[in-house]
Amino acid sequence: MAQDAITAVINSADVQGKYLDSSALDKLKGYFATGELRVRAASTISANAAAIVKEAVAKSLLYSDITRPGGNMYTTRRYAACIRDLDYYLRYATYAMLAGDPSILDERVLNGLKETYNSLGVPVGATVQAIQAIKEVTASLVGSDAGKEMGVYLDYISSGLS
């Protein structure tokens, strides 16, 4: 089950049959203190999601061999599949950023993904470059604090793919 920052600390205290210790409480304090920031960032990202992906693709993939005949993004169908995948990464990273926990990424995004990419010949390196470009574009839109938070989960997807 995907969890969030709150259930994560509660579950780990419960396993030991204890109240939250001070480091668990500090984690929660940090999470609550950044709540407003996370919600504001999620709202900005959802209002600009298509533009974020478009700009990231322009920065990382367009005009490379990948979009030419023989490249994995060549043909409208594959181009659209790639854009759709990047939309997924941005949306699920936003969920994880709101939750303050990456487990939703393991459960709904990364599970079996590398195998699927390998079997279809989708290049992982170029995908990671596009995710890193999403990270930059998002940070420039939401500011560096929220951008750093989003970066944690976009990096999580990148390393899960690599």
**In the complex, which residues of this chain contact ligand CYC (CB under 6 A)?**
61, 66, 72-73, 78, 81-82, 85-86, 88, 108-109, 113, 116, 120, 122-123, 126-127, 130
Q: Which of residues 86 and 154 has its CB atom nearest to ligand CYC in the complex?
A: 86
Collapse the DSSP code of 67 into the 3-class scheme (helix H, G, I; strand E, B; otherwise coil) and give the result.
helix
Residue 3, SS3 per DSSP? coil
Give the nearest distance from C-beta 99 to ligand CYC in angstroms: 16
- Residue least distant from ligand CYC (Cβ): 82
* Alpha helices (H) along 4-120: 5-15, 22-33, 35-60, 76-99, 103-105, 113-120
Smallest CA-to-CA distance from 91 within 59, 61, 49, 140 is with 49
| Cβ proximity to ligand CYC, 6 vs 87, nearer residue | 87
- Taking the complex as a whole, how short is the minimal distance between the CB of residue 27 and ligand CYC, in angstroms? 28
Q: What secondary structure letter does DSSP report for 109?
A: I
**Tokens 């939250």 label which residue?**
20
Report in angstroms how near the CB of residue 17 gets to ligand CYC at its nearest.
Answer: 37
- Closest to ligand CYC by CB, 51 vs 120, is 120
The nearest distance, CB 20 to ligand CYC, in angstroms, is 33
By C-beta, is 24 or 81 nearer to ligand CYC? 81
- CA separation, residue 66 to residues 3, 26, 72, 124, 150 (Å): 36, 46, 6, 12, 26
